[in-house]
Each structure stands twice: as structure tokens, then as C-alpha cells.
Amino acid sequence: MRPLSEVADAAVTVFTDKGFRQAGISDVSAELGLSHGALYTYVDSKQALLYLALLRTLRPDAVRSLTLPVTAPPSDEIVELLDSWMIGQAPEPRIDHSREPDARLAAAELGALIDTLYGFIERNYQALNLIEKCATDLPELTQWFFVQRRRAALESIGDFLRKRIEAGELRPVPDIPTAARFINETIAWFAMHRHGDADSAMLDDDACRATVRHLLLAAFVHYD
């Protein structure tokens, strides 16, 4: 018997690479060097394999307590698992919307927003890569990742920019929703997606974090 953690790690690799629809039981068994049938000792379906992969990236130690063969819980329980993980992993930066206008405070708030988002994605890029890759194939993950979470994050960034630009604390931009997505996607690429780019994976983590922060602040903050 192979440790269940090894099966989970193989499932993470396959689903992150192929997504849910294109991945198969045989892909995970090949990753492990097992026969197709042997994998059913560990899980009873492809859905159970995805659950195992999600659990491995969200709560690694929880895999040890599972009973074989692993079965997939209902989709609402998977969403609850994602919600509880997100609540524990993504602290909101403190932004005081009632204070008097002050460009220096706005710059500090934007810096804190950048640091918080970058830190969350950097710490959890493996889980986020897995969820994002499979989200387009599964309605419950599509709703949770793209609609409930990413759109909410973009609206929050956009609301911050709008209020600070209207107060004259940050530079105006042609389109605030596009600017919000620029911040989000710049951070996401350097904190997460560059790890899958052979030409960029070797970039230093600290250098990426500091450079992204510097350039995003320079794009929005008045320095005169």
C-alpha cells in the first residue's frame, strides 16, 4: 500500500496540469506507477480523487484521517470546506473610509492591500492553481471561485480605488474596473502563475514581491 498522501499529491499534480474534465483515473495511476484498478483501493471515483487533491492542498494533515476507499462528499460540503479555508487564510487589510483625505495614508493603505493579496496568493498558490484549473469544468467551483470570490475581490479593490481617486489621494485612471483587475492579475501572475512558466519560475520570490509592490504603488500614488 502507498501512503494516501502520495496518492493525494499525484492527484494534485494531474488535476492542476489537466483540469478535471481532461484528467482521468489512469493519469493519476500512471503518475504513481500503479495499475488503473489498484487506484480504486484508495478512491471510489474521479470526484473522490479531486476531493482528495483539494483536501491535500487546503488541509494537508486531514488526509491522514480519511477512511479507504475515499468517497466524494456532496458539492455543498466541498464549498463549505473552501469557505472555511478562505476565511482562515485571507485577512482583510484595514481601510478607514471615514478618515480625512491624506495621500500618505492612501499610499499606506494601497501598500497594505497589495501586501495582503500578494501574501495570500503566494502562500496558497498550489491550492489556488488547482481550484482555478478545475473551476471551469465544475459549476460549483465556477460559482465559488469566479463569481463569489474573484469578482468580490475585484469589486473591493475597485471600490477602494474609486474612493481614493475621487478624494484626490491617488492618481486618476481611465477605467477603475480595469485598474482593479490590473492590480489583481499582476499580483496573481507573479505570486502564482510564474511558477508554471519555465522562463520565469527561476525569478527570486523576494525580488518579485518587492518589485510588484514598487511598480503598483508607482502607478497610483502621487509622489510630488
| Cell numbers linked to 11 | 492527484
For residue 66, what is the DSSP state? P
Domain architecture of the chain: domains with CATH: 4-72 (1.10.10.60), 84-220 (1.10.357)
Evaluate if residue 90 carries a pLDDT over 70.
Answer: no
Q: Which residues pair with 116 in a beta bridge?
A: none
Predicted TM-score of the model (pTM): 0.91
pLDDT 10s digits, 159-180:
999 999 999 999 999 999 999 9
Whole-number Cα distances in Å, 13 to 8, 18, 57, 129, 161: 9, 9, 11, 10, 37
pLDDT 10s digits, 164-222:
999 999 999 999 999 999 999 999 999 999 999 999 999 999 999 999 999 999 999 98
